[in-house]
Structure 1
Amino acid sequence: MDWGLNTLLSAGAARLHEDGRIAALGAGGMFRAAGVLAKQHRLRRAEERLRAKADHYQRLIGGRTALAPRLETKHGVLSDEISAIATRRSNLNTALAWAAARWAVDQAVAAGASVIYVEDLRSLEARHMGRTVNTRMSQQIRGQIVDRMRHLGAEVGIAVVTVPARNTSRHCPRCLTPLRHRKAPDRPTTPGWKWAVCPGCGWQGDRDHGAWQRIASRGLVHQTRTMTDRTTGIMAIRTIVDTLEARAVIATTAVESSRRDRSKTGSTRRQTGRPAPRRRRAPSPARLQGLAGKRPEGHVHTDRPGLPRAAHRLQGVSTISTPAISRHRPRGAARGAGFHRHAHATPPRWEIPCPDTTPGMESFS
């Protein structure tokens, strides 16, 4: 599991074979929570503005005694609004943490995994990224998600281990060469560094996908370095061994093509320009000859009663009629019957009698 800003979680599955080779199972997935995170940021900004206003009122209360009662009332109203916003933020964080943890555990169960390796960001510092990005990273609820992930993983027998996050997004998951980050090819006008290209082996992809592959391979080769806290029972990999890190690479698998050979080996089969129509294998049952004559054989059922003609249906005043001049007329339609039995227009004014208001009028002269 790799963390992100807008893409909260990027995850995938990897398998360690007996010969020491690590293979990635699939392309992985993402847990996007941009809408919820944007709402969190709006609530945080609203709470910051209210707290600044409440502090200003508190300073005015301490300086002026004449307006103190009125300012204290306003300060109490602001305090209630701040408490309500704080409660909304707490509930939103709790719901998001449970949703992300459940998604991660469900992905592990579907892949048949026995352990979940999560990136540990406590040793990292958000430097040279700007005040806005630093604030967004500090407002993440990664700790709550990991705690709930451990709780849900224990129910299904999956361990959760934290892995150091050093150079997980910087090095190539296949050859450990430093990556070059650039704009995504599907978004050439959007600035950023979401796309990574390896100058060594030529691998390229989303930097988050490369990061979860690095985290998975690092956790699998450092299994013997996993430590368990006696008091809390939290499992983590504290340090990285260079000799083990050199083997933490994803092996390249040859793509097996399922396409068959379509090269021409003989003459092309002659095809008719117009295929023969489908006909009923058994003749239609005999019927009495009516005014319309015998129905020709075809695909229409002969044992079902036909619908009444459109001209014989009940037509109201507000039914939309068929245009008088029309080149196209459907089969079975009649003029003045309408194009649909449930299509109605607003009744005309002359159908609704106007109320008589004459007796109620009186003269003021």
Structure 2
Amino acid sequence: MSGRLPLAGGEASRTACARALLRSGVDEESGEVLSQAVLAQRVGWCADLLAGMVSGLLAERWNCADVEVLASGHDAGGRKLPSNAWMALRRLGWTVTAPVGVRVNDRVVRMAQEQAGRVLRSAWWRAGLTGGVLATWPADPRQRTAQEWEQVRKAVPGGEHLPSSIIKSRTRQAAKFLAANGRLPADVFEMEGAPKVARMLLLAACDRQQATIERSDTDPAKVLLRLQLPTRPDPRAYADWTWVACPIMLPPTVPASAVLHLPTLRVAGRQVRADVAYTHAVPKARRTGHTVAVGVDWGLNTLLCAGALRLQEDGRITELGAGG
């Protein structure tokens, strides 16, 4: 299901995500009903193929120069890179290849490039943080002086607002490398190897030639996801890929009028979980006139605490039940 979300006056669009479960599927070519375990196996075969391709691309591009090029947002000709990671990688000429003898279509390659591109883009912030820590290495890594704290915060992007625990964690990581190698690492890419690749299918990088999603005409909570999956762990030809139809029940938090997007599939044991993104209409946020506020705090021991308050007509502020 795709298309533009119709908005009325005073409305804005908001994108959210809901978790769903793929309990079964039907192989459209053979008519075979796939159990939850068999469906998880076939999704897992596809995820393993993708993970191998993503790992190869990350191993090739896991360096400061390539990550900086991607983070700059422009190609060698000065043109702005597309926002989609897979399109940006193709503009840069960064390709992935399937294992020898394995046949995958271009949409599967897109998913691999999208996943690798997201990982490489996320590494740039860590590179800047690690670079700032290494450039202002303290005399005693276990205890910085006030002047050394000021220096490292100036060297780290956005360091004035960064929690001290994050800088300390990077310092301990670099100190461990120093103890093992007798020198500081050159950058985060020497200090950390290429990250492990998650087994998942980013269907958002595909089009109708690989996956579709449609609501039921009779019940908007019922959704049919169709996607191509391999019939063997090492598909040798396009004939080894078949369309599988998977019914999904959406949770009641997804509005009936929401526009659905292709989900991300993750294999968890003998189950396939789907993170279904959707866009729905909400009232535009106002600058004034609010009577309810939510206060949120986060920390290391307690990840997130929140509480809601209401402004009464007489000016009193009261709590809205318990916090969470």
Q: TM-score, normalised by structure 2?
A: 0.19
Q: Which has the larger radius of gyration?
A: 1
Which one has more relative contact order, counting CA pairs under 8 Å at least 6 apart? 2
What's the TM-score once normalised by structure 1's chain length?
0.18
